Amino acid sequence: MEAKVKLPPLLSDNMVLQQKSNVRIWGKATPNSTVVVTPSWANKEVKTHADEKGCWELQITTPAASFEEYTLTLTDGEQSVTLQHLLIGEVWLCAGQSNMVMPLNGFDYCPISDSNNVIADAPNHPGIRMVTIKPTVKLSPQEYAEGSWQQPTTENAPKFSAAAYHYALTLQRTLQIPIGVITCAWGGSRVEGWLPKEILQTYKDEDLTLIGSDKTPVYLQSMLMYNGILYPCHKYTIKGFIWYQGESNVRSSRTYAERLATMVKHWRSIWKQGDLPFYYVETVPFACEYKEDGYIGALLREAQQKALSLIPNSGMIGTETYEATQVHPHNKKGIGERLAYMSLNKTYGYQGIESEYPSYKSMKINGETIEISFSHAEKGLSPWMNISGFEIAGSDKVFYPAEASLNQKDHTVIVKSPTVKSPVAVRYCFRNFLKGNLINTRNLPVRPFRTDKW
């Protein structure tokens, strides 16, 4: 006999519920019936009534995190459903495009570093639970999306998002509690794909008639990611968002910062949990459109930095250069760890873990040299010689490779070039792909920057 109580796939065995919260539980049942939910951690039933369509929703209070497994029983008086092997811990939603999708198994011709070792180690982490939402094309916001919670094994770990899994590993190592991750990503998607129709209608450059058509690839279409996989997750109580996207917006850096901020504001509004943390990844330097010396990638990274000032309770981790022709860096361990460091510092209060990246602060022209000062470089920068990635220009606005050295007393960088006798501007890694090596004492890379607005 078919069960009367129906739950979305996102509410399944093995799930992690956010600790010390009033978490939402929802689904369908016999119309106008009484739905009773009984969590095994409390000697108290929680009741609600299904409406005339059978839809219902309620909240249950969760205890502090632990590795004790619980159950959750739901009934409408006729049939019961029991969810098993539940954990209470911290839950994060990880979204974005292909770099967030990229599994531990890697992509064709594009492996993940140390993946075999990480996969072999998966059974040692039963306190981590992962769910991957299946991409589904929908023209209107959906109630449910396909994807259920899994405990890591050597068989399922290869399909986990590598960045999200390493994020969970690092969080658990420090917090020492269960970690749940919802991976909600779509390869090639633009930021506009993660926005609802009512917002997209205000953008004059967005042709909504292309949505659902075969005139442009699905992954580049607006709204579909929001409708099919993001919106169905919005009732699940979480701690915050992780975002790894940008490469498909390199031609729209002018609007990216504002639209990313609009996206975050809207997501927070539908989750109804206040200003949830939003931490994201700076796009990796690569030869956009096969041009290393171009600037569209640099302009997008600049827009991502601008977004920091537009999004409350946000942070952006820095990335480093890998391969000019590779938009999918293999070191997802480093990405996941840096995202976790930011969460541990900013959200969980671990002040001994640094998460702020050295950033351009000011410059001073001294004859043939320019002295650059940085924020978040109080303990100095490295290396002290053979620094790469700087360029310098005079009033002709032509940039040349520059020599750079550290002023170890003031923690500044002195930049010069024999070609430029009267410099007026400096850039650092401000190209699609240009290798820089300047880091702080916690190995966090200096953010790309330019002192000009040319």
In angstroms, rounded to a whole number, what is the distance separating the alpha carbons of residues 322 and 329? Answer: 6
The confidence score (pLDDT) of residue 442 equals 94
The confidence score (pLDDT) of residue 418 equals 96
Give φ, ψ of 337 to 5 degrees: -65, -45
In angstroms, rounded to a whole number, what is the distance separating the alpha carbons of residues 143 and 269? Answer: 17
- Segment 313-322 mean pLDDT: 90
- Total residue count of the chain as it appears in this document: 454
- Segment 59-83 mean pLDDT: 95
Residue type, 123: P
Contact by Cβ (8 Å): 98, 26: no
Q: What pTM does this model have?
A: 0.97
Q: Which H or E element spans position 86?
A: strand 80-96
Q: CB under 8 Å to 60, separation ≥6 — which residues?
A: 22, 23, 25, 37, 39, 42, 46, 72
Contact by Cβ (8 Å): 243, 279: yes
- Condensed to tens digits (0 to 9), the pLDDT of residues 288-299 reads 988 999 999 999
Q: CB under 8 Å to 383, separation ≥6 — which residues?
A: 437, 438
CA distance readout (Å), 75 to 5, 16, 79, 81: 7, 21, 6, 6
* CA-wise closest residue to 180 among 160, 205, 203: 160
Q: What percent of the chain has pLDDT over 70?
A: 99
Partners of 55 in the β-ladder: 28
Q: Tokens standing for 155?
A: 């068989």
Q: Tokens standing for 355?
A: 């998460």
The confidence score (pLDDT) of residue 325 equals 87
Residue 153 pLDDT class (50, 70, 90 cuts)? very high
> In this structure, how many other beta carbons lie within 10 angstroms of the beta carbon of residue 246?
26
DSSP 8-state secondary structure symbol assigned to residue 222: S
Q: Is residue 186 over pLDDT 70?
A: yes
Give φ, ψ of 66 to 5 degrees: -165, 170
- Segment 292-310 mean pLDDT: 97
Q: Are strands 80-96 and 66-75 parallel, antiparallel or unpaired?
A: antiparallel
Residue type, 10: L
Identify how many contiguous H helices and E strands the chain contains and give both numbers: 8, 22
Given CA atoms 203, 209, 213, 215 in this order, what sign does their dihedral have? negative
Q: Is residue 309 over pLDDT 80?
A: yes
The confidence score (pLDDT) of residue 385 equals 87
- Condensed to tens digits (0 to 9), the pLDDT of residues 109-129 reads 899 999 999 999 999 999 999
In angstroms, rounded to a whole number, what is the distance separating the alpha carbons of residues 203 and 184? Answer: 24
Q: Is residue 23 over pLDDT 90?
A: yes
The confidence score (pLDDT) of residue 79 equals 87
* CA-wise closest residue to 250 among 306, 190, 193: 190
In angstroms, rounded to a whole number, what is the distance separating the alpha carbons of residues 339 and 246? Answer: 16
* CA-wise closest residue to 95 among 290, 276, 320: 276
Contact by Cβ (8 Å): 336, 117: no
Contact by Cβ (8 Å): 176, 65: no
Q: Is residue 156 over pLDDT 50?
A: yes
Q: Is residue 134 over pLDDT 50?
A: yes
Q: What percent of the chain has pLDDT over 90?
A: 94
In angstroms, rounded to a whole number, what is the distance separating the alpha carbons of residues 40 and 46? Answer: 12
